[in-house]
Amino acid sequence: MLEEAERLNYIIGKAKETATLFGYKEVITPVVEPLELLAAKAGEEIRQRMFIFEDMGGRRVALRPEFTASIARLATTVLRNEPKPLRTLSVGSVYRYDEPQKGRYREFWQADFEVIGSSKPEADAEVILLANNLLKSVGLKGYALKLGHVGVLRNLLTQEGVDEKTQNAVLQRMDKKEYDVAFALVASEKCQTVLRGLLELKGNNAFETIQNLCCYVKPYPKALEAAEYLASVVKLVVESGCPIESVDPAFARGLEYYTGVIFEMYVPELGLALGGGGRYDKLIELFGGEPTPATGMAAGLDRIVIATEAQETKLQKQASKRTALVPIKEELRGEALKIAQMLRDAGVPVEFEVMGRKMAKALEDADKRKMDYVIIVGERELREGKVVVKDLAKRTQVEVEILGLAEKIRG
Ligand code: AMP
């Protein structure tokens, strides 16, 4: 538990550092939101998994299953007049009534990044590079990025006369790789065959796959446009030096609001996505804002924790020394607390002896906890303005002036 919390906080720290490096500003949104806001374009899959209840004012509300809807709403209200692009980060717990198992929880953590106001491939590329940076910064190795474009599927289905509701259901099934069920939802046999053909296009070389895709969808001009847009994003990402593992023409994601390029990240050690995202150009309009293009991604922090554990990734922490502070007798507790506070004011972490143990026991405990130092506050030393500092690793002890104590501990 302690180790997991430490890892989670470490990864949250990395998400915040990554956000700063890319110019994203943190916004804090409510955990409980009106149901209609969260349900608007979440997709059937997530709608059915929301924790919904009535509040004391009789309003239908839900625990947020993700951040994008809340951010899109902010973009139409308090952040409406912010210069574009608006780049946001949100970190927190989200809730979905998923079947609990390893890497799939009902309460989990996301770091969500959004870029609002750009319709350009540069913005899609930026979000993908940001995801890459985050995974690299937490020390993961061998992770893969998978890309697709929902516009290829949607435009193809639209041209084949499939209505939006059926399209949503088809994409939902395809997201779960239930291809037979998905394709059976469209009436036309020709359309089924075209969809099936998309599955065959997936190859190991991203550029080759896109070229094949562009040829394949030529009879569908809007789907072709989408494939060409995807090609320009892949080109930018690869040119910047970030490898793309695969382009998957039949790739779909559960959330309904996606309109463009979508992606997910994986590591070989875990069969579940570490994060994912994509373009959603219609969502802000849906919440009553001006038509505003946007793209973003959410990293699943619990899964990143699991991946770093599986890869035995060392946390690159700034090593801060652990110090215990023990008064030799009860009458010195007040003075000892004063010294502890002086050290904390100087930024030195101190763990005060609150168990009232005798010195031998306190030292034994400090050893067990792998402390670096124990500061012993004794009567004689105190009179001379000093304390005793025991270095537990070196098994030495020296008297140190209280005034220079912080420097001594910092080393
Ligand atoms: P989504 O909001 O569906 O795009 O999901 C973004 C990321 O959140 C996924 O790629 C996962 O890493 C993570 N995630 C989604 N559902 C769960 C869950 N039930 N438990 C843990 N992580 C999850």
Q: Summarize pLDDT for 278-301 with one digit per residue, the tens.
A: 999 999 999 899 999 999 999 999
- pLDDT (tens digit, 9 = 90+) per residue, 178-207? 999 999 999 999 999 999 999 999 877 899
Task: Specify the pLDDT at position 112.
Answer: 98
Residue 277 Cα: closest atom of ligand 1:
4
**Confidence at residue 318, expressed as pLDDT on a 0 to 100 scale:** 67
Let me know: does 389 contact 401? Beta carbons within 8 Å. Answer: no
Q: Is 146 in the pocket of ligand 1 (CB under 6 A)?
A: no
Does residue 230 have a pLDDT over 70? yes
Percentage, residues of the chain above pLDDT 70:
100
What is the distance in A from the centroid of ligand 1 to the CA of 255?
A: 11
Per-residue pLDDT for 72 more than 90?
A: yes
| Whole-angstrom distance, CA of residue 136 vs CA of residue 140 | 6
| Residues 353 and 400 sit within 8 Å (Cβ to Cβ) | no
Test site for ligand 1: of 71, 104, 264, most ligand atoms within 8 A of the Cβ: 104
Indicate which atom in ligand 1 lies nearest the CA of residue 103: 21
Residue 321 has pLDDT above 90, yes or no: no
Helix H or strand E segment including 399: strand 396-401
Binding site membership of 276 for ligand 1 (Cβ less than 6 Å): yes
Q: Rounded to 10 degrees, what is the CA torsion of 7, 12, 17, 21? A: 120
Q: Which atom of ligand 1 is nearest to the CA of 299?
A: 7
Query: Reduced to 3 states, what is the DSSP secondary structure of residue 147?
Result: strand
Calculate how far, in angstroms, residue 215's C-alpha sits from the geometric centre of ligand 1.
33
